[in-house]
Amino acid sequence: MRRFGFAVALILFAATSQAEVLVKSCILTPPKESPIYKVRVSQGVQLRNKISAPEIALDKEDAKMLRSLGDLKIALNIGTNGIIECYELQSSKAANLNPDATVRLKKLLDEGLAKWRFSPYVIEDRPTEVETSWEFEVKKDRLRYRKP
């Protein structure tokens, strides 16, 4: 009986979720020592640690596709070295992207986010892993983060 209750709760959670995950990617890294801390911070707080976060160039077709997805949010996992280890693109609108568009979008984000760098978030003199979410917008032929 407990399994049924869990399944219903899971279905309700999925039905009420606002954002749909479109693309998820992680960089394969060698095993490492677990950090003492892993913190979740807002976009505004992490923005202070930004070293470089260049806009991502888009062609007209990609820009049109991204505009059709509504509000875009990218959840980022940033390692102790300040490099993005994982990201997850979320959209406010349900998207029926074909597999080719998904692959193209993943490649575009992989290349663009690989250029992003942050200074390490430090707690008690130790670099810390960070989880954060950034809102994005499409302006002309560029994908850029919204300033909070």
Round the CA-based radius of gyration of the chain to a whole number and report it. Answer: 17
The residue extents of the domains of the chain are 19-145
Start-to-end CA distance of the chain, whole Å, equals: 45
| pTM value > 0.75 | yes
Read off the pLDDT of residues 70-127 as tens digits, 9 standing for 90 and up: 888 999 999 999 999 999 988 877 667 778 888 888 899 999 999 999 999 888 888 8
Here the tokens at position 58 are 């888009």
CA 43 remoteness from chain centre: 11
Identify whether the C-beta of residue 146 lies closer than 8 Å to the C-beta of residue 74: no
